[in-house]
Amino acid sequence: MGATLCHYLYGSESKEGISPICIKLCPIRDRDKIFLTDKETNLISESWKIFKRNRRYNALEVLTLCIKKSPKFQKDLGIMKEGNKLRNDSHFRLHADSFVSFIDDLVDNMNNQNKIQATATAIAKYHRKTKLPITDFIIYKDNLIDYLLENNMTTKQGSKAWHRYLDRIPGIVRRIQKQPQAQPSKTQSTSRIPKSQSTSRVSKSQSTSRVSKSQSAARLSKSPSSKSNVK
């Protein structure tokens, strides 16, 4: 029961094999930690290896599948093309590569909570930058898992493992997005030149003007016109 309770605490929604009293007494689950069994990690990593054998093609296929099943997804991307024009679009290919890169990082760092958090933060920044709602990531991961299953890259058990892992990511991303962003300090927004430097520059310009005045006066005293006036 200990292992089952551990799974519940770190991500599993199943309460099978856990007594109601134990659930009530156990600490609140850390929603941002995901615990996978060795079997689940093997199922995920093996299917991902197959996917990556033809990474670019599979990446484009999954994103195309997202658009076919969800017109809103295409509208969010802002790429209103079809067929080969869509697949050859540079922005479409960039999005396809970006999504796969995020999944790649998640697969490489299963059960590494710090790395998972770092990838979730990167996903949050990506969606903020591209102005894509996090619901698009949900559409993507669902279609990715369907694609893996339909193309015999994983099994039903593997599909469940993928869902148990990726279904938790959007919630983590949402909580990261709600965190306040760091604002630039007021001192940085003010003049970049320190006061001491600006003051020294002013004093140098003043001293230069004084020198030039004294030099011009000396020249006037030495000139012939000034001597004739004295006579």
Q: What is the pLDDT of residues 52-78, one digit of tens each?
A: 999 999 999 999 999 999 999 999 999
**Model-level pTM greater than 0.85?**
no
If we measure between CA atoms, which residue out of 166, 171, 176 comes closest to residue 36? 166
Q: What is the mean pLDDT of residues 11-39?
A: 62
pLDDT for res 12: 44
Domains of the chain: 1-30 (no CATH), 35-178 (1.10.490.10)
For 61-84, b where at least 16 C-beta lie within 10 A, e where not — what string?
Answer: bbbbbbbeebeebbebbebeeeee
Torsion angles phi and psi, residue 31, rounded to 5: -70, -15
DSSP H helices in 53-112: 55-69, 71-77, 83-87, 90-108
